[in-house]
Amino acid sequence: MKAAITATAKYLPPDILSNHDLELMLETNDEWIRSRTGISERRILKDPSKATSFMCGEVARQLLEKRGIGADEIELIIIATMTPDMLFPSTGCLVQSIIGATNAWAFDLNAACSGFLYALNTASRFIESGAHKKIMVIGADKMSSIIDYTDRSTAILFGDGAGGVILEPASSNGCGVLDTRLYSDGATGKHHLLMTGGGSLNPATHETIDKGMHYIYQDGRQVFKSAVTSMADVADEIMRRNNLTADNIDFLVPHQANQRIITATAERMGLDDAKVVSNVARYGNTTAGTIPICLAELDEQQKLHAGSNLVLVSFGAGYTWGGIYLKWQ
C-alpha cells in the first residue's frame, strides 16, 4: 500500500516585507538581493500574539474543508518546524486543539528546511504499514521570530509561512509516495547553520540575549556550496533509481532558499524552467513551509493531474537533505 496526497493547503501572512523595506533598515539593496537570491519580498506574521501554530491551524482548517472531512477523522498530526510556539507542548498538540482533532495523536519533527520531506516520509510509513488512514502533515516556520533584522546576511533570506497535506492510502495503483532518499551530516552541518541560544545548552539569560544567541547564524557561502551539490546529487539519485528522465518528470518541487540553488538543481536534471516550481521571489525561504506551499500552489493552479510525476528535493540545517518521488493521484 502506498500513501497519496488527497488535499493541499497553504497560509501566508498578509504583511509584506519587500527588498525596498529592507533597504531602509540595512545596508543592502534590491539589486544585490535579487541577483544573489532571486528574492523580491517575503511575508511576515506581524501580530505578536500569533505564532507557528496559528499558521498551521489556518492550513489545517482548509485541508479539512477541501477534503470534506471532520477533524475527528484525523488520526495523526505531524508538524515539521524549527520555530515551535514553545519548546513544549508541541505545536502538533496546539494544532490538534485549534481544530479539535480529538482522536489524533500529534508530534513535532525538526529537520529544519528538510522538515517537510522528513515528515512526509514518516507519515507515509504509518500509511504503508496500515497503522493509520488519515494523517495531516504540515510544514511551517515563523522565521521572523529568530531573525536579527540588523544582520543583512540572514534578514534578507527568510519569511514566514505554512503549507500542508492530508495523506491517505492511495486508491489508484502505482500512485503516491514511491521513493524516498533522506540524509543528514551533523559533523559538517552543525558548524554552519545554527541557533545556539534557547536550548538546554544555552538557556535564555541576559548574557545569551546580549550576545544575540537567539538568532539564526549562517555561514552562507559554506551552506550554499553544500546545498548546490547535495540537492543536485539527491535529485539525480532519485531520477536514476526510478528511471525518471527530463521528459517524464512533470515538476521539480525544490526547497526555496535561493533561486541560484534551484536553477543549478534543475540544470543538473536537464529540466526546462516550465517544470521547475519557484516562488522564492514572493515568499523567500519559509524553511519547512517551502515545499508544501509550492505543492498547494501547483494544486490551486490545477497543474497536477492523475499520474503527474513530481520530484521533491530539499537541503537545510543539520545538515539535512533528501528527495522524494511521488506520482500524483
* 221 is an interface residue for ligand UT7 by CB under 6 A: yes
Pair 253, 312: CB distance under 8 Å: yes
Bridge-partner residues for 43, per DSSP? 16
- Here the cell at position 277 is 516550481
State the residue for C-alpha cell 500552489: 297
Applying the rule CB under 6 A, the residues between 105 and 124 that interact with ligand UT7 are 113
Is residue 22 within 8 Å of residue 155, measured between CB atoms? yes
- Residue 285 near ligand UT7 by CB under 6 A: yes
For the question of residue 113 being annotated catalytic, the response is: yes
Q: Which three cell numbers stand for residue 209?
A: 540575549
The three three-digit cell numbers of residue 100, written as one number: 479539535
We find the least distance from the C-beta atom of residue 171 to ligand UT7, in angstroms, to be 34
Residue closest to 182 by CA, chosen among 226, 225, 234: 234
Minimum distance between the CB of residue 64 and ligand UT7, rounded to whole angstroms? 29
Q: What's the rounded Cα separation, in Å, for the pair 24 and 29?
A: 9
Under rule CB under 6 A, residue 153 binds ligand UT7 = yes
User: Does residue 156 bind ligand UT7 (CB under 6 A)?
Assistant: yes
Q: Considering only the stretches 71-79, 178-186, 221-229, 299-307, report the one whose residues sit in contact with ligand UT7 under the rule CB under 6 A.
A: 221-229
Q: Find residue 252's DSSP bridge partners.
A: 276, 311
The phi and psi torsions of 322 (rounded to 5 degrees) equal 170, 175
The minimum distance between CB 54 and ligand UT7, in angstroms, equals 22
Find the part of the chain contacting ligand UT7 (CB under 6 A) among 11-19, 26-34, 64-72, 140-148.
Answer: 26-34
Residues 130-149 that bind ligand UT7 (CB under 6 A): none
Catalytic residue of the set 121, 258, 285, 309: 285
* 38 to 77: interface string for ligand UT7, x by CB under 6 A: ----------------------------------------
d(CA 117, CA 213): 28
Catalytic residues: 113, 255, 285
